[in-house]
């Protein structure tokens, strides 16, 4: 299947889903967009590939972005296996950090980390204005920040500026597990 045909099918699926969610007929969408009902029908059925002008008219008529018509439809439910979650940082004998939500969300990244060895795992420094939140799931964590060491126990969290150099280490026996949320300024 060609890229153009796939794009046309995405427009068809998205248009049909949006129209139905708003309880609109094809005729009503056509009037809103300044297009004949037959054009809307042909686009939704995949019988024809819409022109760029037609897609723009439909987006304007429905007061939605072109992206909403052109992008892959949102999945209502999705399971991702551990193999599909990208490992962002892995230090042999120390631990790893995994991106929990691989698809980007504007202004947010969510990670899961495990530290089982001794030593400190450096954290990423983000641009000015952001924040970081660390929630300890199990074990104890030490957050090393500005020459200070802060202890975070199970079911506790800490929040700090994202543009500060920091590192994390495990305190005591076992493995420390945590979630790390990066909030970026937009």
* Structural domains of the chain sorted by starting position, each given as residue range(s) with its CATH number in brackets: 3-70 (1.10.260.40), 82-183 (2.60.120.10)
pLDDT digits (tens, 9 = 90+) for 73-110: 666 666 777 777 788 888 888 999 998 876 656 678 89
Nearest to 28 by CA among 18, 11, 73: 18
Residue 11: closest CA among 78, 62, 82: 62
- Token look-up 């991702």 returns 80
pLDDT tens profile 126-183: 776 789 999 999 999 999 998 999 999 999 999 999 888 899 999 999 999 999 998 8
Whether the predicted pLDDT of 1 surpasses 50: no
Share of the chain above pLDDT 90, in %: 46
Calculate ∠ Cα 64-68-72, nearest 5°. Answer: 170
Backbone φ, ψ for residue 60 (5° rounding)? -65, -45
Under 8 Å between Cβ of 121 and 97: yes
């Amino acid at each position: 299947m060609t890229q153009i045909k796939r794009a046309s099918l995405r427009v068809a699926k998205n248009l049909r889903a949006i129209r139905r969610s708003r309880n609109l007929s094809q005729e009503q969408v056509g009037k809103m967009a300044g297009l004949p009902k037959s054009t809307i029908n042909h686009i939704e059925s995949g019988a024809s590939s819409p022109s760029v002008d037609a897609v723009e008219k439909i987006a304007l008529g429905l007061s939605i972005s072109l992206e909403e018509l052109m992008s892959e439809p949102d999945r209502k439910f999705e399971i991702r296996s551990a193999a599909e979650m990208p490992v962002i940082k892995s230090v042999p004998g120390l631990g790893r950090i995994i991106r929990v939500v691989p698809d980007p969300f504007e202004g947010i990244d969510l990670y899961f980390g495990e530290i089982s060895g001794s030593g400190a795992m450096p954290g990423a420094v983000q641009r000015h204005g952001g924040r970081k939140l660390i929630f300890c799931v199990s074990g104890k964590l030490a957050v090393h920040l500005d020459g200070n060491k802060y202890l975070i126990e199970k079911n506790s969290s800490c929040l700090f500026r994202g543009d500060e150099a920091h590192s994390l280490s495990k305190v005591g026996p076992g493995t420390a597990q945590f979630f790390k949320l990066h909030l970026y300024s937009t």
